[in-house]
Amino acid sequence: MRIDTISRPQDTIRQFILDSVNLPDLDDDFDIFETGIVNSLFAIELMTFLEKAFNIKVTMDDLDMANFKTVNTTAQFVLNKQGASGV
């Protein structure tokens, strides 16, 4: 998959979630786990996607579900990882 590097990570992440759960749209602050539209297995699918799409590595220290609960928190997580690795 090619990622447009100019687009905000939110757009990429939101699109991935929408493709996975078959919803028409998704608010970037909508808690996808708490509201029950996805399950814990989806967290792994999401991490797999993030690693591939943003060229980051999710490590043991990152396994806090708070990182992945909304489009916005996930985007912030990605930006932090990219910043930390100097990308």
Partner 1 sequence: MTDISLEETIRSFNNTGYPFPEDKTIHSLFEEQVERTPHHIAAMFRGASLTYRELNEKANSLAYLLREKGVRPDVIVGILLERSLEMIVGIFAILKAGGAYLPISPAYPVQRVQHLLRESAAPILLTQTQLISRFSIDPDEAEVIPIDLNGPVYTYPTLNLQPVNSPHDLVYVIYTSGSTGKPKGVGVEHYSLVNRLNWMQRKYPISLTDTILQKTPYFFDVSVWEMFWWSIVGARVSFLIPGGERFPQAIIETVQTHSVTVMHFVPSMMSVFLEYLRNSQSDIQRMSTLRQVFASGEKLTVANVRAFYDVLFIQNKTQLANLYGPTEATVDVTYYDCPMDDSLLHTIDKIPIGKPIDNTQMYILGENGELLPVGETGELYIGGVGVARGYLNNPQLTSERFILFNPQGLFLQKPPLDPAKTPDNNPPLTESFKGVQGGVFQKAHLLYKTGDLARWLDNGNIEYLGRQDFQVKIHGLRIELGEIESVLSRHPLVRDCAVIVKQFSQNITLIVGYIVPKAENVSSGELKEYLKNLLPEYMVPNMFVIMENFPLTPSGKVDRNALPDPSGLFGTKK
Binding site for partner 1 (CB under 8 A): 20-28, 30, 35-45, 47-48, 51-52, 58-60, 62-63
Handedness of CA 59, 48, 46, 2 (dihedral sign): positive
C-beta closer to partner 1: residue 21 or 87 = 21
The distance of closest approach from Cβ of residue 19 to partner 1 in the complex, given in angstroms and rounded to an integer, is 9
Please choose, from the candidates 4, 38, 57, 55, the residue with its C-alpha nearest in 3D space to the C-alpha of residue 71: 38
Q: Which two tokens stand for residue 15?
A: 């699109």
Please choose, from the candidates 36, 73, 78, the residue with its C-alpha nearest in 3D space to the C-alpha of residue 58: 78
C-beta closer to partner 1: residue 51 or 82 = 51
C-beta closer to partner 1: residue 5 or 40 = 40
The distance of closest approach from Cβ of residue 58 to partner 1 in the complex, given in angstroms and rounded to an integer, is 6
Q: Which two tokens stand for residue 44?
A: 């792994």
